[in-house]
Structure 1
Amino acid sequence: MTPFEAQERRWEAEINRRMGQGDGLEFTLAHFAKSVGADANDPALISFFNNLVRSTAARRIEACRCPLCASVLPANTVETLASCPYCQADFQQEGVEITVEYFYRLEGANSRDIRWVIVIHGMNSRAPWQEEFSWQIANRLRYSAPVLIYKYGWATIDVLITPLHRRLARRLGDRIRIAIKQATGSERPSKPDIIAHSFGTRLFSLILEDPDFQDLEFGRVITAGSIVRPDFDWSSHIESGRVEAVMNHVGGKDSAVPLAQYTIPGAGPGGKVGYASMSTLNVSNPQFGHSDFFVPQNLRTQIAEGGLWYDFLTRPLAHFRPHGAFVPALKWQPACWPVRALIRTLLYVVFCVAGPLSWLRRKIDP
């Protein structure tokens, strides 16, 4: 590789970094040259940016500044300005001329803020990660982002019954609708980001399918330890604008998710084999079990700046290709229905026996 090729690669890498992070998309040639250790007057660097402009990967923007206070002057009025509208300096009297400066703007999406988050936990979770998550959002991120951790109460043997799933999902949908109304009243966006775990992913998928909640729209969605079917139609919800984007965080050592389709009606191993929808992003961590996403140390790593969850929630996604991203290798098929039917029949017998105890459990400790 020649020295010229090496420096061009450095420039391209810096362009790709800015595009990927959605930050620093607008700059002067001098600022860019400083960041890559180059000379702003280098003809090769100037030619590099001329090529970017010709390929429409970047735009060249002319800006006029007051030579005294350095303020950018209003566009389309420079020729008629006799004085600076900010510092009131008279250009002719001061013997100065307006400074012309060129900026470059990369044609990419800006990064986004995490404005507020709804977390839907798994079954019967009372782990300390709930408080840890709120603390991390409040203290490690650069913005104030309220967190609503929805607790739908104890779900035990009743997860075997589909109508009870829908009842829990309706309660969740009603609570989200109230939260969105409160958020818009506080001048926050109407679309919360969602983080759902285990049985919480099943409830969230039911909300998306329920026509009574078609008015609810969401930002970016993270599913962890998901029991949503791999063939769930995420694409239609993304294309319709109800969901901005979906990342499915998969645990390579998750032993609970593969069993879900045998025990929970409507469930599937999405958190093990991935989502088939090409509109979603599947990311695997081979060391994680079913709930390791929320172990405090792992949670701190994921939500800290530069962590996987932080980057997914903030960065433009066109260039987002995190380590562990994968596409499901084979088309998923549900397990043999006689096997599923047999297991569920046995579990329904258990339900008939344990149902009253489950009801009593919820009454004692809702």
Structure 2
Amino acid sequence: MSMPEAPEQAWKAEVVRRLEQGDGLEFTLAQFAQTVGTTVEDQALRIFLGQAVASGAAKKIEAYRCPISSCKRVLSSAGAPYTICPHCSTDYLKEGVEPLVELFYRLVGENSRDIRWMIIVHGMNSRAKWQEEFSWQIANRLRYSAPVLIYKYGWATIDVLVRWLHRRLAKRLGERMRIAITQALASQRPSKPDIIAHSFGTYLLSLVLDDPNFEDLNFGRVITAGSIIPPDFDWDRLIASGRVEAVLNHVGAKDTAVPAAQFAIPGTGPGGRIGYLAKNAVNVCEPTFRHSDFFEPENLCAQIADGGLWHNFLTHPLEHFAPQRGFAPSRWKRAPLAVRAATRILGYALFALAAPFSWLRRQVDP
């Protein structure tokens, strides 16, 4: 039979939970006592919160509360002295009452964030179910009014073998992002969308981020899945400059497409298997996932549901974000140039043979 948890351990766990979620950081003694199953008369709890204040982990805030029973709203101390309630418009002087003084505690931490809107960049030649239902899942699972732009760059065939065609595709993506950001600002939404990118879409995103012509584009939190971005991509520079708020690299341990990318697609690398070397990147490995398993309906629902990896990354404070199966790669070295050149020459030959079929496919499904 397990021993019951000591009260102080439960109180510490509640503090950690609030810091990790960035929610409920400000509270009264009565509110915290009710949450942890005790009362305001509990002297041990008072001592516990006092120690948190003394250590700098929390602050005491003196606030005011409207004394009118039908209101009871908290009034910011910044607006004191109050003669009229800003919520119920009661004239305190006329009614002969005064605001109630109330003590609040404020944990020192970052508040949670909302997902205001996002851009999705799909993988190469993808027509998967997740594209059709992603917006619906976001609206239902995340409970936010968060517009989702799913950017489709069309069918890529010979394009993947030629760097200048990569840049052309990336330019189109960057221009579409700029239009979307301009439209978001006109709708009074933030200028920094969150990004989810998959497979070849991750590489196009990296080209946009490295292109001086798109230095005006800044992004919120970025999730890459099945990434073919090289592991040594400089995410730290982008985060330090404010171009990107944070990056989560979701890795599939059974992804066979990612390790092959550098042998067929110039400039790419196995970021979706090795991980990112950047100090500030967050790498998380799913031991059973293949290249596109992240977007299978059941997996997608799990990622964006409350408590799911993507949901937590997109909404929780980064300071306390420490997901299970997180890892930090130590090194990476590109495959020998001769090997990469040989496989790409083979790729050119195969594409040359398939060129007529590729052209016909583009006409039917551009």
Question: Is the TM-score greater than 0.5?
Answer: yes
State the match for 1:43 in structure 2: 43
**Is 1:251–1:288's contact at 8 Å kept on the other side of the alignment?**
yes
* SS at structure 1 position matched to 2:35: helix
How far off is 1:127 after superposition?
1.1
**Is 1:251–1:287's contact at 8 Å kept on the other side of the alignment?**
yes
How far off is 1:98 after superposition?
3.8
State the match for 1:34 in structure 2: 34
- Taking the aligned partners of 2:242 and 2:335, their CA distance within structure 1 comes to 32
* SS at structure 1 position matched to 2:110: coil
- Taking the aligned partners of 2:138 and 2:55, their CA distance within structure 1 comes to 40
- Taking the aligned partners of 1:31 and 1:98, their CA distance within structure 2 comes to 19
- Taking the aligned partners of 1:10 and 1:140, their CA distance within structure 2 comes to 29
- Taking the aligned partners of 1:92 and 1:274, their CA distance within structure 2 comes to 66
Question: Does structure 1 residue 294 correspond to structure 2 residue 295?
Answer: yes
* SS at structure 2 position matched to 1:318: helix
1:190-229 residue pairs with structure 2 within 5 A? 190-229=191-230
- Aligned partner of 1:285: which letter? E
* More displaced 10-residue stretch of structure 1: 338-347 or 247-256: 338-347
**Is 2:120–2:151's contact at 8 Å kept on the other side of the alignment?**
yes
* SS at structure 2 position matched to 1:262: coil
Question: Does structure 1 residue 342 correspond to structure 2 residue 342?
Answer: yes
- Taking the aligned partners of 1:40 and 1:4, their CA distance within structure 2 comes to 22
- Taking the aligned partners of 1:93 and 1:108, their CA distance within structure 2 comes to 39
How far off is 1:91 after superposition?
5.7
Provide structure 2 residue ranges, at least 5 long, that are not aligned to the other structure. none
Q: 1:97 to 1:115 in 2, by over 3 A?
A: closer
How far off is 1:135 after superposition?
0.8
Q: 1:361 to 1:87 in 2, by over 3 A?
A: closer
State the match for 2:116 in structure 1: 115
- Aligned partner of 2:126: which letter? S
1:132-147 residue pairs with structure 2 within 5 A? 132-147=133-148
**Is 1:84–1:91's contact at 8 Å kept on the other side of the alignment?**
no
* SS at structure 1 position matched to 2:77: coil
Q: 1:58 to 1:4 in 2, by over 3 A?
A: farther
> Per-residue CA shift, 1:221-276, capped at 9, x if unaligned?
00000000000001101110000100000001111111111111011110001000
**Is 1:169–1:203's contact at 8 Å kept on the other side of the alignment?**
yes
- Taking the aligned partners of 1:325 and 1:74, their CA distance within structure 2 comes to 40
Q: 1:164 to 1:62 in 2, by over 3 A?
A: same
1:78-157 residue pairs with structure 2 within 5 A? 78=80, 86-90=88-92, 94=96, 96-157=97-158
* SS at structure 2 position matched to 1:195: strand
Provide structure 1 residue ranges, at least 5 long, that are not aligned to the other structure. none
**Is 2:236–2:279's contact at 8 Å kept on the other side of the alignment?**
yes
State the match for 2:160 in structure 1: 159
State the match for 1:21 in structure 2: 21
- Aligned partner of 2:41: which letter? N
- Taking the aligned partners of 1:82 and 1:201, their CA distance within structure 2 comes to 57
**Structure 1 vs Structure 2: percent identity of aligned residues?**
63
Q: 1:261 to 1:77 in 2, by over 3 A?
A: closer
Name the Cα RMSD after superposition: 2.0
**Is 2:92–2:98's contact at 8 Å kept on the other side of the alignment?**
no
Q: 1:216 to 1:93 in 2, by over 3 A?
A: closer
**Is 2:248–2:284's contact at 8 Å kept on the other side of the alignment?**
yes
Q: 1:5 to 1:265 in 2, by over 3 A?
A: same
- Taking the aligned partners of 1:270 and 1:114, their CA distance within structure 2 comes to 25
**Is 2:67–2:100's contact at 8 Å kept on the other side of the alignment?**
yes
Q: 1:34 to 1:117 in 2, by over 3 A?
A: same
Question: Does structure 1 residue 332 correspond to structure 2 residue 332?
Answer: yes
Q: 1:338 to 1:109 in 2, by over 3 A?
A: same
Q: 1:51 to 1:158 in 2, by over 3 A?
A: same
Q: 1:133 to 1:78 in 2, by over 3 A?
A: closer
- Aligned partner of 1:358: which letter? S
* SS at structure 2 position matched to 1:105: strand
- Taking the aligned partners of 2:191 and 2:315, their CA distance within structure 1 comes to 17
> Per-residue CA shift, 1:303-362, capped at 9, x if unaligned?
11211111111111110111111111x310011221111111222233344345423321
State the match for 1:11 in structure 2: 11
How far off is 1:152 after superposition?
0.4
Q: 1:58 to 1:230 in 2, by over 3 A?
A: same
> Per-residue CA shift, 1:159-181, capped at 9, x if unaligned?
11111111111111111111111
* SS at structure 2 position matched to 1:60: strand
- Taking the aligned partners of 1:295 and 1:241, their CA distance within structure 2 comes to 32
State the match for 2:360 in structure 1: 360
Question: Does structure 1 residue 305 correspond to structure 2 residue 302?
Answer: no
* SS at structure 1 position matched to 2:124: coil
How far off is 1:67 after superposition?
2.2
Q: 1:72 to 1:160 in 2, by over 3 A?
A: same
- Taking the aligned partners of 2:6 and 2:56, their CA distance within structure 1 comes to 23
> Per-residue CA shift, 1:82-136, capped at 9, x if unaligned?
6656453546864x55422100111111111111111100011111111221110
* More displaced 10-residue stretch of structure 1: 63-72 or 233-242: 63-72
- Aligned partner of 2:72: which letter? A
Q: How many residues align?
A: 361
- Taking the aligned partners of 1:159 and 1:213, their CA distance within structure 2 comes to 21
- Taking the aligned partners of 2:130 and 2:78, their CA distance within structure 1 comes to 54
